């Protein structure tokens, strides 16, 4: 189905998301912070041979580089600016407001989340992408 990158420093969340998403046939990779995500995406260091995912599930509060800083970086990189972001965080409205104007944020989900609802939301995001976007 789709390649999905989960960027979250909580291993339990990554494990749950991997389990749920792989049941739907998605290929899931993960990163524990924004710096690791930039490496996995081939942004820093630059590696255009790295495949980019069709979706990034992004936590906000992480060590080294948080989700907000990572998303700002993704928006200015040609190879990553079109990837939809699903923000998944325990933080409330204040953090959500930071992402309101980001054109690449497709959805915002607060932890704890319902895995079934999240699966449906991700399916909808992926289905709404045009074939030429993939």
Which domain CATH number covers 23?
A: 3.40.50.2300
Residue 73 lies in a domain: yes
Residue 59 lies in a domain: yes
Domain residues for the domain of 55 are 3-126
Q: What is the pLDDT of residue 133?
A: 46
Residue 133 lies in a domain: no
The string of pLDDT tens digits covering residues 19-57 is 999 999 999 999 999 999 999 999 999 999 999 999 999
Residue 131 lies in a domain: no
The string of pLDDT tens digits covering residues 54-112 is 999 999 889 999 999 999 999 999 999 999 999 988 876 665 666 666 889 999 888 88
Domain count, the chain: 1
For residues 3-18, average pLDDT: 97
Question: From CA 81, how far away is CA 26, in angstroms rounded?
Answer: 21
Residue 79 lies in a domain: yes
- Indicate the pTM of the whole model: 0.91
Residue 132 confidence class, pLDDT cut points 50, 70, 90: very low
> Which of 6-44 are b and which e, b meaning 16 or more Cβ less than 10 Å from the residue's Cβ?
bbbbeeebbebbbebbeeeebebbbbbbbbbbbebbbbe
Of 10, 3, 5, the residue nearest 111 (C-alpha):
10
């Amino acid at each position: 189905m789709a390649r999905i990158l989960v960027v979250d420093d909580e291993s339990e969340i990554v494990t749950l998301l991997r389990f749920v998403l792989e049941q739907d046939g998605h290929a899931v990779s993960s990163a524990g912070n924004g710096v690791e995500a930039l490496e996995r995406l081939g942004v820093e260091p630059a590696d255009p041979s790295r495949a980019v995912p069709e979706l990034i599930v992004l936590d906000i509060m992480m060590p080294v580089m948080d989700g907000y800083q990572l998303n700002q970086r993704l928006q200015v990189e040609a190879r990553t600016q079109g990837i939809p972001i699903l923000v998944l965080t325990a933080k409330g409205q204040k953090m959500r407001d930071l992402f309101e104007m980001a054109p690449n944020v497709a959805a915002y989900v607060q932890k704890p989340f319902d895995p079934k609802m999240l699966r449906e939301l991700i399916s909808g995001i992926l289905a709404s992408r045009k074939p030429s976007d993939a």
